[in-house]
Structures are given as C-alpha cells and as structure tokens.
Chains A and B, each alone.
Chain A
Amino acid sequence: MKIIVFMKQVVNKDAILRINKEGTWVEEGDISYEVNESDGYALEEALRLKEKHGGGEVVICSMGPQRVKAVIKDGLARGADRAIHVVLDNLNNLSPFAAAKILAEAVREENADLLLTGLQSDDQGFAQTGVIMAELLGLPHATIVIEVDASNEALRVKRELESGWYQWYSMPRPAMLTIQSGISQIRYATLKGIMAAKKKEIKEVQPSSEGTSAASFQRIEKIYFPQKTKQTQFLGGGDAKKGAAELAEKLRAEARVI
C-alpha cells in the first residue's frame, strides 16, 4: 500500500504572535514553526497502516519554503520512506483551492492507494485542502476520521460527528482521509530513525503554474487581535501566587461561587 501524507508546517502553538506593519499577516522574522498537529497524527496513522498491512510505502508531501524541510526530516526520522517538497516561498496568500490544486498536481503521478492529511491547519484553519484535493483527483473522501480499517478491499473509516456521535463509512480505494487529532499515540523518532532519515530521498518539485495562478476568490484585507467580549480582571500583576490569593477572595465576595 502506497500512502501519501500531506503535512503542513505552521507557526508554533506557543509562539507570541505580532501583526505585521501592513496588518495582513503575522511577523514571521523570529517566529518558530512546528508540524501542524493533526498532520502529525495523519503520519502516525499512515505508518501504522503500513506496519499492519505488511509494507508498502509512506510518502510525505509538504509545501512551503526551505524551512519546511524540518517537518519533512522529522517525518522521515519517524519512519516515512521518502518525501516530496513542493517549493513555494509564501503560502499565506494561497486560497484553499489553489493549495489543493498545487498539491494534487504534485502527487497525481504517484497513483497512491491512500492519501491522508490532518483535518485542518492550525494557522489558516480552512479545513478544505484535503477535500478539494480529493475532488480534483476524482477520489472519494472522508473527513474527521478517528479510525481506519484497511483490512478489506473496501476502506472502512470511523468519522467523528458532533456531540459524541460517530459513524462508519465504507468506500473504495484509492481515497483521501482527513485525520482527527488523537487518533493514536504519536511515536517519537529514534536515534536510529534519525540516522536512517539522512539517506532518504527528498524530491523538490516546483508548484504547477496552473495552481499558483488560480484565482483566489478570497483575500485577507486585514488581521487583528480579537475584541474581547468580556472585561477580564487580571489579578496578581504578574505574581501568580498573589493573583491566586486575590482570586479566592474575588470568587467569594464578587462572584459568590464559594
């Protein structure tokens, strides 16, 4: 079974964000990056499927500037076999359709049995790239998947619905699945894995011009910090212990919950 996993590099969850002068994106100069959380789970699921079903190949596909090599190398160290790096300097103005178009073209000739990615990115949060890719490649898809059963010819997947409900769907392969965070426990890269990764192939490809020139149909005018809906009383002035003592008193006297 050949599985392609689409992984995005996003701004680190704990990074302190600053908005750029133009007000159109965050300052990227000194920010740190990490793999998009649910994409990490997608890779783990791909590795488990490969192990369970007697081999095949797990191929990472990632798009972005040279810094996304960090995500690729980490994935290779965890056990992916090779990688495709779609080299593109700036993803921030890319619409979900354009991103999906470029990625679909980059992997079309691979004729994979299964395509996996995370359910949404932690930066733009479109939650669309995987689904649009499936449509462009003519594949069935399922989103928000939390279990994959590939032991039969038809793929059977468990989808998460809202409020604690679930549903199984079967579909023919090849198919595209978007994976929910928490589908399994993510493995760490071993030292052996890290050493082995150095020899694995990372193929750089240029994005298709059709994809980069696709009309975006949506444009960010400005970004800003959300307006607060509540007036928060900040306590302690930076001293957490002092804040805690003040808080206990507020909960008793003001909020009357003690």
Chain B
Amino acid sequence: MGNGILVFAEQREGTLNKTSFEAIAAGQALGSELGQEVLAVLLGSGAQGLAEEIAAYRLSKVIYAENEKLKDYTSDGYADAMERVVRAVNPQYVVMPHTYLVRDYAPKLAARFGKGVISDCIRAQVANGQVTFSRRIFLGKIDADVVAEGEPPVFATFQSGAYRGDQATRGDSDAEVETMALEVGEVRMKPEAPFQEVKQAVDLTKADVIVAIGRGIKSKDNIAIAEQLAAALGGDIAASRPICDAEWLPIDRQIGSSGQTVAPKLYIALGISGAIQHLVGMKNAQTIVAINKDPEAPIFDIADYGIVGDLFEAVPVLTEEIKKLKA
C-alpha cells in the first residue's frame, strides 16, 4: 500500500518547465483532499539549484535524483531513474505534466509496474477518498471519467492548463531537498542539441485579428475566401495542423501545441473542429468565432459566436458585410 503523492517536475537545459508548477498545483489539490503528503522529484545533473527553487513550494520533501546520465533527457535514463525513485518512495499517485517529454518516458515507466498511465487528464475530483480523473477522448468531442483500480502507484498526467501554475502554494519555509545519487542503467539513445527551425517568418502572437482555417476548407484553392476575410478585417491568416501538414500553408502559420500560441482580439475559426492541440494555442483569444458544419465540434465549446453551417456560404457574406461596416 503506497502513500503520498509524488509530483514529477520537468526541467530542460537548467530551466523548470512552467507545467511543472501546474503539476505541483495538481499534486497539492489532490494531497489536501486526500489528506496525503506531497513530494516532488526532479532529475538532472548539476541541477541542485532547480530543486531548491521547487523546495519553496509547500511540499513535504523534494527529491533531487542526480546522475551524469540525467544531464540531457533520454527516455532510457528518465524511465530508469524514475523507476528507482518511485520504488523508494512508494507513493499512491505519481502526478506528471502531459508534456512531450513526459509522453516520451512515462508509459515506459508505468510499464515497469505492469500498467499504463491515466494520461492527458483535464481535471481530477475526489469523493470518499476515491479520485475520478477526467480525460478528453475522440479528439475533444467527449469527456471520460476514469477511475484507477488495483495496486498503487497510479500514474497520471495532466494537460497543460488543467491546473494553474500560479495556484501552486508556497510553503512557510523551504522543504527539505534530499539528494539521491542513483544508478542509471544503459542509455541507448544519444540526444543532439535541441534547435529551432529557421526563424519563423510570421509572428502571429502580435496579430490583433486572426482568421484560421481547418480541414473544413477542403482544398488549397478555397483558402482565398479566408484570405479575403482576413484582408477585410486587417488580420492574418493562420491554420490548424492538418492544413500545414498538407502544405497548403507554411508551418509558421500553424496555431496550437506544436505551432504558435496566440491571444488576439478576434479569432475566427473556419472549418476547425477544435482538437485539444489546436485549442491550447488560441483559447485565450478575447473573442472567438467558429463557423463549422458540425454542431458538436469542440470549437463551439469555447466560441463566443457560432454559425452552424457551410463556411463557403457564410464567409463571402461576412466579408462583404465587414467591408460595408468598415467603409
């Protein structure tokens, strides 16, 4: 029987990922409702300072697992180190942010305990000592409430934004940092330095108005009607991932988790269903308009104005009306 909640804090190149603080907030929320202590773990080499940064939060302990092989992230190194930490701590829950790094190693870690991860959760609720995790399935169209069964530990990852990093509570005094010098087995993969592709030509983060297109635009030729709308509004054109994948628009026009994150005054989503990966990139826009033929498209969950119908009918009319209003 395990005890406590172990929060995985993520660092890269000597910087803590902001989702680490969200994970701490998630761990603290669960800890207070379950009446369990909350610990954090950080892996690295020469990253003691970051462990001390985490120790400012209300935690019963910060475990800093140190090994030369943990300097740069590898799935072999991280899964091995985390397995040792989890076996030593024997927690009830292991809470992690659903980042690309965690996605890469957490299933491998959980597999060593004969199980998988309750992944990409958007919230967790506690009733009678039982945690119900909610996940988005079917590309965001449906939510599923999931409960853990069997022996702990339960491995769970939380989506970026599920908890707020600024709601992670700081402690009255710093938590103890326990440095754990641990063995790490063979690391088979060799990482090279991370890099950015050629400087992005288009900076959509400064745009006031964005007209974004998704699959519903159907063909490259149809992009013109969206461009006309963008021109009428004095805005920029952008797209969801499939459009850039198809090379209908360059990748620097992509909005979402692997593209740009924007918060314009007006965001018009044309034929975009609203998969989570897109929503995280634009949900903070001031006014969101969605035009989509599917009334159940998740984009409508965050839209201020919605038109259910054919975008090829709506957009030319909208462009004309806006031109008239602006004239």
Interface, chain A (partner B; CB < 8 A) = 11, 13-14, 16-17, 19, 26, 95-97, 100, 122-128, 131-132, 134-136, 140-144, 159-172, 180-182, 185, 214-230, 232-236, 238-241, 243-245, 247-252, 255, 257-258
Tell me how far the C-beta of B241 lies from the nearest C-beta in chain A, rounded to whole angstroms: 7
Tell me how far the C-beta of B292 lies from the nearest C-beta in chain A, rounded to whole angstroms: 10
B139 touches A125 (CB 8 A): yes
Tell me how far the C-beta of B322 lies from the nearest C-beta in chain A, rounded to whole angstroms: 5
Q: Which residues of A contact B265 (CB under 8 A)?
A: 257
Tally of contacts, chain A with chain B, CB under 8 A: 287
In the complex, per-residue mask of B294-327: 1 if CB is within 8 Å of any chain A CB, else 0:
1010101111111111110111011001101110
Given the known interface contacts A96-B116, A215-B150, the answer about A225 and B296 at a Cβ–Cβ threshold of 8 Å is yes
Q: Which residues of A contact B148 (CB under 8 A)?
A: 217-218
Given the known interface contacts A234-B308, A235-B306, the answer about A161 and B287 at a Cβ–Cβ threshold of 8 Å is no
Tell me how far the C-beta of A224 lies from the nearest C-beta in chain B, rounded to whole angstroms: 6
Tell me how far the C-beta of B90 lies from the nearest C-beta in chain A, rounded to whole angstroms: 16
Q: Which residues of A contact B145 (CB under 8 A)?
A: 220-224
Contact of B120 among A97, A125, A164, A172 (CB under 8 A): A125
| 4 nearest A-B pairs in the assembled complex, by CB-CB distance | A182-B245, A240-B309, A248-B321, A96-B116
Q: Which residues of B contact A127 (CB under 8 A)?
A: 103, 107, 119-120
Q: Which residues of B contact A168 (CB under 8 A)?
A: 191-192
Q: Which residues of B contact A241 (CB under 8 A)?
A: 313-314, 317
Q: Which residues of B contact A185 (CB under 8 A)?
A: 246-247
Q: In the complex, A31→B180 CA distance in Å? A: 53
Q: Which residues of A contact B118 (CB under 8 A)?
A: 218
Instruction: Give the dominant DSSP class at A's interface.
Output: mixed
B112-142: which have CB < 8 Å to A? 112, 114-120, 132, 135-142
A132 touches B111 (CB 8 A): yes
B233 touches A258 (CB 8 A): yes
Q: Which residue of B lies closest to A157 (CB)?
A: B189
B103 touches A143 (CB 8 A): yes
Q: Which residues of A contact B141 (CB under 8 A)?
A: 17, 225-226
B193 touches A135 (CB 8 A): no
Given the known interface contacts A97-B111, A255-B304, the answer about A17 and B142 at a Cβ–Cβ threshold of 8 Å is yes
Tell me how far the C-beta of A8 lies from the nearest C-beta in chain B, rounded to whole angstroms: 13
Q: In the complex, A169→B73 CA distance in Å? A: 10
Q: For the complex, is B89 an interface residue (Cβ under 8 Å from A)?
A: no
Binds A, one of B46-54, B60-68, B163-171, B195-203: B195-203
Q: In the complex, A221→B242 CA distance in Å? A: 32
Q: Which residue of A lies closest to B290 (CB)?
A: A232
